[in-house]
Structure 1
């Protein structure tokens, strides 16, 4: 009978199919990542076996791909003349440990996301531009990183603190600049470091304790001295820098020296040199003490009383914050720079200075021979320039300007208080934020509010709504800002009326870029960094030219104390508790704002179908699908946008709203990506001003 033979044949075929499915079918995330890489590589057609969609890299033996079971573990595509880029789904390749695309012609940025568990990365000898991606900071198994011979620019982020296994780091022949990051000192396994042919500056002292066998820092702008600890390295190349001549200075008092290397000062003259150093320190301390005593005496003179009066008058002047590094050339700042950060604070009549702390300061210079008058003059000039720039207003004035805080003057209400419109007889219009007094600590209202005003008044940036006034009387505490007739981004996107036209694509990109620069200033331009904690479209105000002005900064303590979320749709997943909010949480909220600009939708809309109510949850899976992206874009744009720019905008959003905060980019990278988007699109950011406008509001 034929029946048994048929059954046998059927079983054999079925077993073969099952065997293929079980043992050869590549993991779908790996396939998807390689599909995207294939379409991103302009010349990928030469890669044998590769496909733009689907396929089975492991069983079909795609060129350069090595697998273990159903997982891709190695990608070796060196020297194949590939062009284009690597795609945006490399983070899906969770089993890849070896990643080599060196000696090709790849361009643009190195993707922010790379295989997260990689051990060996070689992207050298390409045409990559941009910066070194910060996601490298999370690759704790990384042992080999070669990014040499590209066109990378900018300063290195302080990203090397969690790379204990890194043995080789090659950043040579790029255009990197700035000081070496402090976290270089944490590279406890590093034996080979190549930094030659860049524009690095500062000292290389941070490398002193590394177990280096090979070091090349040639042709940079390094200064100072080569540490003794590095001079015994067998293969060291240091030419082409601005090293200081003469004998290196001795270590500061109390510093430990390595005992396994001979001291340059060993011998009969060491005790004489030590005595000279001690005498120099004592002499400098005496000079400081005498100058401070003379300064204290002079403070009672009429001239210094006059300066105090001038300081009081200057409270109405504009103020430009001075970062600690900008104070380094100022005599007073040099003296107190190491004393609990006083160099970055305002000096006032109540400032006390510890004499012993000053005597211990390592910043004392020969210029201390200045007379006491010059010393006092420099100190007081710094006091004047760092006084509060916001003007004090009386409660009576504000009651008149707001019609006694009438309901008709109410502009909005948030978790920490209401905002009113104040109109003055001279035509000036301000927005007044009245802070709920219950939010202050018991008994510390005046002092706490004063601290807030002082900090906020020092923030100055073209894309930030600056504080121009304040009032603290009879239990009322109010902050005053410039009033923007165009209202907020939230109003333009979600509360459109007959007086406004839809925001054009160029305007939306300009708003995103300006807002990102404001956040960049808070995160990376302020010391310590300022976490906003309340980034949302209603806090992005628009001036007469529709340039963004970020508001509500510097009030994070209040938002923390209210234990209220930003509002449905804006909070990052990790912010279950307000104390878990970080800089990366701000990035998530900013990504949501960009989603609003892209889709015209609110972050959470209960009127939508349940699957579409949460904007991030609905939009994220579609951000890399070109067809879906064209369907989700704001209909108000009427299709008037460049498709490539739209796709790039969506890629930036996808990075910002990732679930894991460690994979979200720092805001400086967001800014750079938006700038490149503008440059590649050839946008004229001023052409669209007449197309998006809101008529001036009427007087009350």
Structure 2
């Protein structure tokens, strides 16, 4: 049963109905399991529940206490696990090494983990989870081109600054307030599409041109919020860039003048401590002093 299956969809099914899918691991290319799973492991490695330690087939072990070798999903390239109750990306992802498209939207994920094992992953949907930080995410998503992070609790984008393959990123419905956050992705060389709708940032005056100006010379290549950049916006971007450049030059000159003033500052005057003696007066020539006696002043005989 299922041995030559290539595509399967399972919605609102008990996980016991999914166990039979493991026999189709050599051929199954697309799988969708929604509204039923509580973990990735129960979908990808149901047989692993019987063992304390396991490793994917073909993985070199280091002599640890491995009690089982579990076959990988050899042909699986598309996996939809959206609308489930999954709270973590567990190590069962090691069993889907050829996955290219992974949908984990509408779950309860708080951390992006273990995806560094998916070298072929190019499309990732993590929208409408509970993510609040992207720190270190570039070490796990090195080859991703399309990333959907809509509907999370993100305030900072600093973890995206090294995703050099990123072409399309959706960040709508988050908590991004500061324009400087966009600066962290403004230098990504391949980025073409950016969505920031329904963030606090998106209601500031001249929002579009201020965001586009963060991309410098590549502003014309960016499609912001599904709207192509207009010539009028590009003209405004050029003005903003000129103003910013003038500010940078002025700031640099101010810092140079300040440093020069510090270098030529006069040495401080000597300080007299409270209760100390004042500086001694210069010595003068001594004059003869009269000699006193009990009979008056004695003169020279």
Provide the TM-score with structure 1 as the length reference. Answer: 0.27
CA contact 2:144–2:163 (8 Å) conserved in 1 = no
CA contact 1:76–1:100 (8 Å) conserved in 2 = yes
Q: Offset of 1:235 from its aligned partner?
A: 3.6
Alignment deviations for residues 217-262 of structure 1 (CA, whole Å, 9 cap, x no partner): 2233559942245643564129xxxxxxxxxxxxxxxxxxxxxx99
User: In 1, Cα distance between the equivalents of 2:77 and 2:225?
Assistant: 31
Q: 1:192 aligns with which of 163, 168, 178?
A: 168
Change over 3 Å in CA distance of 1:56–1:173 after alignment to 2 = closer
Change over 3 Å in CA distance of 1:149–1:301 after alignment to 2 = farther
Q: 1:264 aligns with which of 221, 230, 238?
A: 238
Q: Offset of 1:173 from its aligned partner?
A: 0.4
Report the count of equivalent residues: 221
Q: Offset of 1:153 from its aligned partner?
A: 2.9
Match of residue 101 from structure 1:
81
User: In 1, Cα distance between the equivalents of 2:224 and 2:88?
Assistant: 31
Q: Offset of 1:143 from its aligned partner?
A: 0.7
Match of residue 674 from structure 1:
none
Give the 3-state SS of the residue equivalent to 1:75 in structure 2: strand
Change over 3 Å in CA distance of 1:298–1:112 after alignment to 2 = farther
CA contact 1:153–1:177 (8 Å) conserved in 2 = no
CA contact 1:82–1:106 (8 Å) conserved in 2 = yes
Match of residue 32 from structure 2:
76
Q: Offset of 1:142 from its aligned partner?
A: 0.9
Q: Offset of 1:68 from its aligned partner?
A: 2.9
Change over 3 Å in CA distance of 1:221–1:291 after alignment to 2 = farther
Change over 3 Å in CA distance of 1:163–1:83 after alignment to 2 = closer
Match of residue 122 from structure 1:
103
CA contact 1:110–1:128 (8 Å) conserved in 2 = no
Match of residue 473 from structure 1:
none
Alignment deviations for residues 581-617 of structure 1 (CA, whole Å, 9 cap, x no partner): xxxxxxxxxxxxxxxxxxxxxxxxxxxxxxxxxxxxx
- Structure (1/2) with the larger helix percentage: 1
Q: Offset of 1:113 from its aligned partner?
A: 5.0
Q: Offset of 1:281 from its aligned partner?
A: 2.7
Q: 2:220 aligns with which of 219, 226, 232?
A: 232
Q: Offset of 1:279 from its aligned partner?
A: 5.7
User: In 2, Cα distance between the equivalents of 1:194 and 1:273?
Assistant: 27
Give the 3-state SS of the residue equivalent to 2:138 in structure 1: coil
Give the 3-state SS of the residue equivalent to 2:31 in structure 1: strand
CA contact 2:115–2:140 (8 Å) conserved in 1 = no
CA contact 2:150–2:172 (8 Å) conserved in 1 = yes
Change over 3 Å in CA distance of 1:153–1:84 after alignment to 2 = same
CA contact 2:149–2:171 (8 Å) conserved in 1 = yes
CA contact 1:155–1:178 (8 Å) conserved in 2 = yes
Q: Does residue 146 of structure 2 align to residue 158 of structure 1?
A: no
Match of residue 86 from structure 1:
40
Match of residue 45 from structure 1:
14
Larger radius of gyration: 2
CA contact 1:192–1:215 (8 Å) conserved in 2 = yes
Q: 1:175 aligns with which of 148, 153, 164?
A: 153
Change over 3 Å in CA distance of 1:273–1:140 after alignment to 2 = closer
Change over 3 Å in CA distance of 1:299–1:164 after alignment to 2 = farther
CA contact 2:156–2:181 (8 Å) conserved in 1 = no
User: In 2, Cα distance between the equivalents of 1:273 and 1:207?
Assistant: 18
RMSD: 4.6
CA contact 2:172–2:195 (8 Å) conserved in 1 = yes
Change over 3 Å in CA distance of 1:177–1:137 after alignment to 2 = farther
Change over 3 Å in CA distance of 1:274–1:101 after alignment to 2 = closer
User: In 1, Cα distance between the equivalents of 2:245 and 2:135?
Assistant: 39
Change over 3 Å in CA distance of 1:302–1:109 after alignment to 2 = farther
Q: Offset of 1:187 from its aligned partner?
A: 2.6
Match of residue 292 from structure 2:
none
